[in-house]
A and B are shown apart, each in its own frame.
Chain A
């Protein structure tokens, strides 16, 4: 059995999770502070992948980043970057598709912290940034771990969106979920079963680890 799709999937999930941790933490913090029209609209956009068919999202990404249209053409001509049918495209699609799984738990955890924690830190002369890093983040560690694991696990299971933007190029965009589909199409049930079992085991271990780690840290293991 070719293990490349498994490694590619793990690499995609790891990169996506890292990018979303870096982007998601400040974004979730900003969204957790008060309400405004801009925040409501942005939050709705971030949440859309939860309810939108993945193929729809994939289709729009394919159109947007096609080297023959708009942004895709501009990126291709100016920077020689092509997102469609490349691993870069998979990362971009995964970041957008898994964003609500990172933002949601972190934003919710930040909103549940008493306002007086940051207020106390401000009166002690600490900046908003220092307060965020030294007071707020350490007190939402359980939720950060939940968000990171859910993001990782969700990326492992992506199918429609990655198929639309990445296609099925062995060693480049052929991730495990596509390999399962492809094997079934070719009546190779042994490979399909092997890929499925590996994905099932990895995901199960990750979900179990969230429940175990959060057992004493949060009211609900999925908080």
Chain B
């Protein structure tokens, strides 16, 4: 069970807006996060990952406190080890596809399985600049999966994939999430994109 209660000031024009979210997520559940642009969806994911600190907040995962601004508890992103898929992919320009996965895991069997799911087996020696947008996005997903995350945070993870590729990729990801018992939060703009995959939806709007 993941329990989150945060408040974070967001810069907006004009003035400031407040992002307030209080929610609980069942272990192994998949939740869609949606809302208008600038509402703070990406910020919400980064707060959970420990990349941004809110003014007020408490986050606990399976009774382990990751963040408590009152008790001044802050678990570093390295210790939280969430699988994070960035909206801009954040791929490392100096690394090939294979090196991206080896940077995270030295289990060749595991990384080969991920490469097969993402259909990137024939691109292992390619650097990001030589991959298409869809291939880059799949690599970003596979890299985040390589740490065998218990919590997966995905920011618009399927936006560059065509419907066929998406329909082939998602079952593979789903089987690994089931296997690892991963809780997944997916930010998406597209109302139809995650139909049938997510059991729950959360609407995010800053005030």
Contacts and interface: CB of A to CB of B under 8 A. Distances in A.
B43 to A, nearest CB: 13
B88 interface: yes
22 contacts: A114-B90, A116-B86, A116-B88, A119-B46, A120-B91, A120-B92, A122-B76, A123-B84, A123-B144, A124-B81, A124-B103, A124-B104, A124-B143, A124-B146, A124-B147, A125-B78, A125-B81, A125-B104, A126-B78, A127-B78, A134-B103, A139-B94
A34 interface: no
Interface in A75-125: 114, 116-117, 119-125
B51 A119 contact: yes
Interface string B80-105: 11111010101111100000000110
Interface residues on B, range: 20 to 34
Given A134-B103, A138-B94, A122 B77 contact: yes
Given A116-B86, A135-B94, A138-B94, A122 B103 contact: no
Interface of A: 114, 116-117, 119-127, 134-135, 138-139
A116 B90 contact: yes
Contacts of A138: 94
Contact of A120 (B76, B78, B80, B84): B84
Contacts of B19: none
B93 A120 contact: no
Given A117-B90, A126-B103, 14 more contacts: A116-B86, A117-B92, A119-B86, A120-B90, A120-B92, A120-B143, A122-B51, A122-B77, A123-B49, A123-B82, A123-B144, A124-B104, A134-B103, A139-B92
Contacts, number: 56
Contacts of B82: 123
Interface in B47-89: 49-51, 76-78, 80-84, 86, 88
A119 B103 contact: no
Contacts of B146: 124
Q: Which of A120, A121, A126, A138 has the most CB of B within 10 A?
A: A120
Contacts of B80: 123
A36 to B, nearest CB: 17
Contacts of A114: 88, 90
Q: Which of B77, B91, B147 has the most CB of A within 10 A?
A: B77
A121 B93 CA distance: 13
Contacts of A126: 78, 103
Nearest to B81: A125
Nearest to B78: A125
Contact of A125 (B86, B88, B91, B147): B147
Nearest to A140: B94
Q: Which of B46, B82, B86 has the most CB of A within 10 A?
A: B86
B93 A139 contact: yes
Contacts of B51: 119, 122-123
Contacts of B46: 119
Given A116-B86, A134-B103, A123 B77 contact: yes
Contacts of A122: 50-51, 76-78
B175 to A, nearest CB: 22
A123 B50 CA distance: 8
A123 B81 contact: yes
Nearest to B87: A116
A138 B78 CA distance: 21
Nearest to A116: B90
